[in-house]
Amino acid sequence: MKVNYPVKEATDIKEIKAMLKPFGGRCAKFVDGNLEYQIKEEQEDEAYKLLKEKGIVQ
């Protein structure tokens, strides 16, 4: 499943990819000020919470 969220803070994409890897996240990239990546549906909420805690997404 492909998701995208508005980015709050510019972060190195390699760092974000490393954070998403345990959740099965793939193909992370920045598109028009949003972070876009593919993730398994059952892992989406956990990955979003992590990114929000780290201050990466709004």
* 3-class DSSP string for 7-46: ECCCCCHHHHHHHHHHHCCEEEEEECCEEEEECCHHHHHH
Q: What is the pLDDT of residue 11?
A: 86
Please give the structure tokens belonging to residue 49: 């919470």
Q: Indicate the angle between helix axes 13-20 and 44-53, nearest 10 degrees.
A: 140
Compute mean pLDDT per 10 residues along the chain, 58 residues long, and list them: 91 93 94 94 95 93
What pLDDT is stored for residue 54 in this prediction? 92
Q: Any idea where the domains of the chain sit in the sequence?
A: 2-53
CB 1 within 8 A of CB 43: no
